[in-house]
Amino acid sequence: MAFEGLSDKLGGVFKRLKNRGKLNEADVKEAMREVRLALLEADVSYKVVKDFIGSVTERAVGAEVLESLTPAQQIIKIVNEELCALMGGSGEKLKFPSKPPAIIMMCGLQGAGKTTHAAKIAKMLKKQGKRPLLVACDVYRPAAIDQLKVVGEQADVKVFEMGQIDPVKIARKAISHAKDYGNDVVIIDTAGRLHIDEELMGELKSIKNEVNPHEILLVVDSMTGQDAVNVAQSFNDALGIDGVVLTKLDGDTRGGAAISVLAVTGKPIKFAGIGEKLDDIEQFHPERMASRILGMGDMLTLIEKAEAQFDAKQSQQLAKKIKDKSFDLDDLLEQMIQIQKMGSLKQIMSMIPGVGNQVKNMDIDERQINRTQAIITSMTKAEREKPSIINPKRKRRIAAGSGTRVEDVNRLLKQFQQMQKMMKQFTKKGKRKRMGFPGFPM
């Protein structure tokens, strides 16, 4: 995951500060030297690191910090605030005009994930009640139009294309089409190159002048490290971008681009790609990213992910089943499917405060969920509703049907039995609280 190395190193620095108790100016400066090295190793721009360390040190050596009872915590708080400010302070949303359609122009180099992220943003906006239209203006790359059609179909978003003709004409016709058919957002997928050249920039400027986009989003690959910032600077100088979409933040990247891009270009990161699926995109929140980097978790994003998968009606039905003691293996299966849609277990757990730094050392077998699902789906409806009827003969049949062992079936049934006991205890405590029994305050 992105920032894993940086998070480890910063965690070590802050742990040593906490162990020292009272701090002096020399302790702070020594710690800042380590923070500087950690940031440089994470591929953060040298100038950005220099300014950042200067700001943190100036605040950290003040009497208010060094004379406080918890100086290390105060320094962590300062680093968090400065890191957040460095990445933009607060998340920036897309701009939508009062009169639709909103025109979003996607640009970037080849291989950064421009076409896929055009579809990701389209799908995200569709979930928000918009009617997006994807426009195929990459007429040079082999199969680019077909790729946009494929991801557009997966996102359930219409794709406007006119073949391999002048992309400026395609963009103009697409805007007219959107107005005629009620599309309130137009997302233009432009051509990329393996490198920045005059021909590429000339075409992008022509499209910009023709359709006057409300947002120009540059898609950059975070795996390229500091080069991503250089690309952003070049595109901004030539085209005047409004924001950055940083891709592959789920990969083995040092993350320096995310920290540097705003400080170097003055343009915010608006979205972060965190996986290969079309749902794997987040609005970029600097304060949440700072918390993740410092191992403080990210509960707000976790809650948003949960809310996106579990609607209010489902939650009420689940609560009623738990209360009525009718929660069965079908319900467990449904919950597991919804949790899988939120991302990998490691990713979910890394967002929980206090768990972030430990989760990378945990041996989490993601396949266990698939095995459990296979066992449950190998049961009959009666067995899922009433697991107590599952005798040794049935267990052997379920194990054979799911490609697992009888021991695996026994383990699942035992875990489910324990889960039911816990649910009963919770409902009993809830009743006692409502009735005002001694020892259970109202």
Question: Where residue 393 falls among pLDDT bands split at 50, 70, 90?
Answer: very high
pTM assigned to the model: 0.67
Q: Are 286 and 311 in a shared domain?
A: no
CB 241 within 8 A of CB 218: yes
pLDDT tens profile 100-159: 999 999 999 988 899 999 999 999 999 999 999 999 999 988 789 999 999 999 999 999
Residue 349 and residue 421 share a domain: yes
Least confident interval from 68-77, 92-101, 179-188, 208-217: 68-77
- Tokens at 208, concatenated: 């910009």
Shared-domain flag, residues 414 and 265: no
pLDDT digits (tens, 9 = 90+) for 295-354: 665 445 555 556 565 565 666 676 677 677 778 888 888 878 777 776 666 666 665 555
**Cα separation of 296 and 188, whole Å?**
37
Quick check: is 92 in a domain? no
Q: Looking at the domain assignment, is residue 119 inside a domain?
A: yes
Q: Which pLDDT value is given to residue 438?
A: 37
Predicted pLDDT of residue 439: 37
Number of helices (H), then strands (E), in the chain: 21, 8
Within-domain flag for 28: yes
Please report the DSSP string for 339-354 in residue order: HHHT--HHHHHHTSTT
Percent helix / strand / coil, the chain, rounded to 5: 60, 10, 30
Same domain, 49 and 111: no
* Total number of domains constituting the chain: 3
Domain containing 403: what range? 304-435
What does the alpha-carbon distance between residue 77 and residue 80 come to, in Å, rounded to a whole number? 5
Tell me, yes or no, whether 360 and 412 share the same domain. yes
Q: What is the share, in percent, of the chain residues with pLDDT greater than 70? A: 81
Backbone angles phi, psi at 398, to 5 degrees: -65, -40
Residues 137, 141, 145, 148: is their CA dihedral positive or negative? negative
Confidence at residue 304, expressed as pLDDT on a 0 to 100 scale: 58
Contacts (Cβ under 8 Å, ≥6 apart) of 190: 105, 106, 107, 114, 137, 138, 167, 203, 204, 207
d(CA 440, CA 442): 7
Picking from 275, 295, 315, the residue at the C-terminal end of a domain is 295
The pLDDT assigned to 77 comes to 85
- Residue 95 lies inside a defined structural domain of this protein: no
